[in-house]
Amino acid sequence: MLLRLEALSKRFGRDWVIRDLSLSLDRGEVVALLGPNGSGKTTLLRLMAGLLKPTRGRVERQGHALFLPNPPAFHRHLTAREHLLFDLAFHGAAGDWEGALKRFGLPAELPLAAFSSGMKKRLALARLTLLRPDLWLLDEPETALDQEGRALLQETIREARKGASVVLATHDRALAEAVADRAVWLGAA
């Protein structure tokens, strides 16, 4: 068991965003979170990551989780190379950053301020493949990606599930059907 949510509820101010949600996830599983805007997909991912504390209920997590926000967050004054090198070192990991950049078709020496949103998405995926978390939490990973980028995303998720599990929040039914074993539908708040 990699992740278990027990009767999870989260409230912001007076509004309940998530109510009584239970879910468990094994290594190797891919789960898609579906639902309209404002149905709590991002909140749920952040709860899973431990970035938010549940109002009620529990999150049990084994292993290391990483969260890919939408849009992805980077320092604009660093280059892709510097960012990946820092992330690798800060996480105490080693990896072939040059290969990863090449694979995702990204320039190494351009400051991120000059990256398009699709390139940033690709960089975020490259970063995850390098850091190899046990739990991948992806928030709308398909947005801003072109055809080739989407193919890369699917490939990345399929590779990731070999050793880890993936939760992705998405509006793309086709993507969910292509990669996910299960889907969780979150209703409107």
Partner 1 sequence: MLNAAHPERPDALTWVFLGLGLLLLPLGLYLALAAPPDVNQGYLARIMYLHVPGAWLGYLAFAVTFVYSLLYLFRQDPRYDRVASASAEIGLVFMGLALVTGMLWARPTWGVYWTWEPRLTTTAILFAVYVGYFLLRGAIEDPELRRKAAAAVGILGFLNVPISYMSVKWWRSLHQTQSIDLTTGKIHMDPAMLQALLLNLVVFTFLYLGFVRFRGFLAALEERKEEA
Partner 2 sequence: MWLLALRDLRLEVRDRAGLLSVLAFLGVTLFTMALALGPEEAPLRRAAPGVLWVALAFLSTLLSTRAFALEVEEGTLEDLLLAPGGKEWIYFGKLLFQMLLLLPLSLLALFLAAGLFYLPLEKGLPLFLTLALGTLGYASVATFYAGLLSRLRGREALLPLLLFSLVVPVVLASVRATAGLLEGLPLEEVASWWQLLLVFDAVYVTASALLFPLVMDG
Q: Which residues bind partner 1 (CB under 8 A)?
A: 11-14, 53
Q: Name the binder of 7 from partner 1, partner 2, none, CB < 5-8 A by kind.
A: none
Size of the site for partner 2 (CB under 8 A): 23
For 23, 184, 186, the CA distances from 15, given in Å and listed in that order, are 22, 21, 15
> In the complex, what is the shortest distance from the CB of residue 13 to partner 1, in angstroms, rounded to a whole number?
7
- Footprint of partner 2 on residues 35-54 (CB under 8 A)? 49-53
- Asked if residue 172 binds partner 2 (CB under 8 A), the reply is no
Among 14, 90, 109, 162, binds partner 2 (CB under 8 A): 90
Q: Name the binder of 77 from partner 2, partner 1, none, CB < 5-8 A by kind.
A: partner 2
Of 12 and 86, CB closest to partner 1: 12
> In the complex, what is the shortest distance from the CB of residue 64 to partner 2, in angstroms, rounded to a whole number?
6
Residue spans of beta strands (DSSP E) within 54-181: 56-61, 65-68, 135-139, 165-169
Q: Name the binder of 118 from partner 2, partner 1, none, CB < 5-8 A by kind.
A: none
- Asked if residue 58 binds partner 2 (CB under 8 A), the reply is no
Distance CA 61, CA 2 (A): 6
3-state SS class at 69: coil
Distance CA 23, CA 112 (A): 37
Contact criterion met (CB below 8 Å) for 95 and 128: no
Distance CA 182, CA 59 (A): 19
Question: Torsion-angle region of residue 57: left (phi > 0), alpha (psi -120 to 50) or beta?
Answer: left
Instruction: Please report, as ranges, the residues that interact with partner 2 according to CB under 8 A.
Output: 49-53, 64-67, 69, 73-78, 82, 86-87, 89-92
